[in-house]
Amino acid sequence: MALQTLADAFHDELRDILSAEKQLVKALPKMAKAASSEELRAGFEKHLEETKTQVERVEQAFEETGKAARAKTCEAMEGLLAEASSMMEEEADPEVMDAILIGCAQKVEHYEIATYGTLCTWAKQLGYKAAYKLLKANMAEEVATDEALTALSETVNAEAKA
């Protein structure tokens, strides 16, 4: 199906982020398990719960498009998560692994922030008010998660230096 309008592009991009969020629901428990820092593990578990809600918000955001809420494989997230899982297989000191996990997680959050940024801009331009609010809520959680990871990196990475 050809993408003829901004509305078509919006729907396609929603399908992409739906796939990305669903991939994260599967990946975050593995990242939590690989973390040694109690705080980092708790952070991943918290974001897992947020991510499940994000999937629901994205599904609701399809309503104004009048089209099906069907995911379309996000290859970028597949790539980011493939990289994260190969790093998790590396032999590393626990504190070093935590620093690596934070780095992998921040790449994921930045991808999400970029995508939600685009989606919010398009939703606004298309007059999709409900979708805009839902996507903005997801974006706020991704930004907060990214900031929490940066804060955590200050303590976790200090331990990894030793």
Using rule CB under 5 A, residue 153 touches Fe ion: no
> Residue 9 interacts with Fe ion (CB under 5 A)?
no
Of the ranges 12-20, 58-66, 80-88, 122-130, which one interacts with Fe ion (CB under 5 A)?
12-20
**Near Fe ion by CB under 5 A: residue from 14, 16, 34, 135:** 16
Cβ neighbours of residue 14 under 8 Å, at least 6 residues apart?
58, 61, 62, 65, 69, 119, 131
Candidates 7, 35, 74, 80; binder of Fe ion (CB under 5 A) is: 74
126/88 Cα distance (integer angstroms): 41
Q: Within 10 Å of residue 99's Cβ, how many Cβ atoms?
A: 21
Considering only 142, 148, 152, 156, the residue that binds Fe ion (CB under 5 A) is 142
Nearer to Fe ion, 95 or 112 (CB): 112
Residue 76 lies near Fe ion (rule: CB under 5 A): yes
* 95 counts as binding Fe ion under rule CB under 5 A: no
Region near Fe ion per CB under 5 A, out of 4-12, 44-52, 96-104, 146-154: 44-52
Q: Interface with Fe ion by CB under 5 A: which residues?
A: 16, 21, 51, 54, 74, 76, 112, 142
